[in-house]
Chains A and B, each alone.
Chain A
């Protein structure tokens, strides 16, 4: 009996039902509305990490008629190959963004560092990488790895590295904004309570910063998905755009493959953005 009292406060008064419905202070892993999306994200990650599709050569099964009007049969028979390209694209994006999350944290920590030169250097690196095109950075990385014999990276690996670097700077800005959004009073209170730095960060700052950081991270994930097709023409990563270019070069038909990848891309990115917005609303902290 006494155990039951200790774990759950005895219900008293008419507000019991309300209390059961509103429990913001359960741990996040005990809240199904957060656990569900997290499980989905982890599952998608696991599939993308585990299963690597090696697309063969992209080619059409038949050529459409000579005239340039849209040929729907030709259009539809290209769909499976387009999906393969989309999968390659999604895999590169997810890998690159995983790197970006880690790199971004390092850059954000570097920028917050008390040691001034480190802070200046990271601020400059962030600003430089952020304001130069990813395309040029990919070309640069490619040239860099071609000139050195030490490391030999494939096209996909360079794309992943480039995305991680470029979007690492974006995520670091997200982290910084999230940490800065924690009110000063919280910092002062944790100093006043004499909390050690670990407790301060893990129990006070990070739990309050996460709801502000997650939307930024999600936006960056979608933005990196939108930049990833660059790997096709630059690094010959067999992604969607590479597929369309191959078909265009072989059949001299550009309308169908281009429109197909446009439609396919929108069918992935718009639901992703929409789902993200829903998730944002759910994860919004009850303060």
Chain B
């Protein structure tokens, strides 16, 4: 069993990498959520040009491979536009966020569509402005439907962060490759075990994310029940949206 565990020093290197991965994930998630909300709502806009723009973005973001998008962002965009002010890390964040935004926009759109029409009609009857309607009536209800597929999507983005090692950003995967270089230099075998450990780390992080989203869901549903006195609608039916 001792063969499966790495040395303490190796775990420290992996931890350093993990912090970079988590920072990348956090930033990409924030930007991705903003993009999903903006384009998800834009896809339901009454203006045709806005819907068209959002559709182009969504088709682009869902159509392109995340790794090819990452390579384009890191290697082509800075040269093409002669713009390299923020460094590779931020370009990688943007690439991941664009990817997440495409899927997230579809989740947001689907969830808003799933809210009963009566809610919108009632808020129009109450003379709420479109912004108020979205902010106070539709989005809070849509949130319960958004969260489960958003959790899956976040795990997908976590998996996507491993790609940045290929463009030489020092994330968990890159730390692993550095360790391999060191091991090869010392002539020590055991690369397979190293990868098993890394896989387990990714698995644990994914489970933590999953748990956080479950927790958020439970909180949201509890609040919904408290306010309305109704049992929360099952969100099972929408959990497959993200795939």
B80 at the interface (CB under 8 A from A): yes
A144 at the interface (CB under 8 A from B): yes
Q: Quick check: A265 and B192 within 8 Å, CB to CB?
A: no
B186 at the interface (CB under 8 A from A): no
Q: Quick check: B173 and A255 within 8 Å, CB to CB?
A: no
Known: A68-B82, A132-B206. A144 touches B192 (CB 8 A): yes
Q: Which 4 A-B pairs have the closest CB atoms?
A: A131-B206, A133-B162, A140-B195, A258-B76
B69 at the interface (CB under 8 A from A): yes
Specify the main secondary structure of chain A where it touches its partner.
helix
Q: A133-B159, A144-B192, A266-B64 are in contact. List 6 more A-B contacts (CB 8 A).
A: A133-B173, A135-B159, A136-B176, A140-B196, A241-B68, A258-B76
Counting chain A CB atoms within 10 Å of each CB, the highest count among B75, B173, B198 belongs to: B75
Q: Quick check: B240 and A177 within 8 Å, CB to CB?
A: yes
B 46-81 binary contact with A (CB < 8 Å = 1; else 0): 000000000000011011111111011001100110
Known: A262-B64, A273-B62. A140 touches B192 (CB 8 A): yes
Tally A-B pairs: CB < 8 A.
126
Specify the main secondary structure of chain B where it touches its partner.
helix
Q: Quick check: A269 and B63 within 8 Å, CB to CB?
A: yes
Residue of B nearest to A134 (CB): B159
Residues of B within 8 A of A248 (CB): 75
Known: A68-B79, A144-B192, A229-B67. A135 touches B163 (CB 8 A): yes
B22 at the interface (CB under 8 A from A): no
Question: A: which residues have CB within 8 A of B?
Answer: 68, 70, 128, 131-137, 139-140, 143-144, 146-147, 170, 173-174, 177, 216, 219-220, 223, 225-230, 233-234, 240-241, 244-245, 248, 254-255, 258-259, 261-262, 265-266, 269-270, 273
B 122-157 binary contact with A (CB < 8 Å = 1; else 0): 000000000000000000000000000000000100
Question: B: which residues have CB within 8 A of A?
Answer: 59-60, 62-69, 71-72, 75-76, 79-80, 82, 155, 158-163, 165-166, 173, 176, 189, 191-192, 194-196, 198-199, 202-203, 206-207, 210, 240, 243
Report Cα–Cα, A140/B190, bound state, in Å.
11
Report Cα–Cα, A240/B69, bound state, in Å.
13
Known: A131-B206, A262-B72. A143 touches B64 (CB 8 A): no
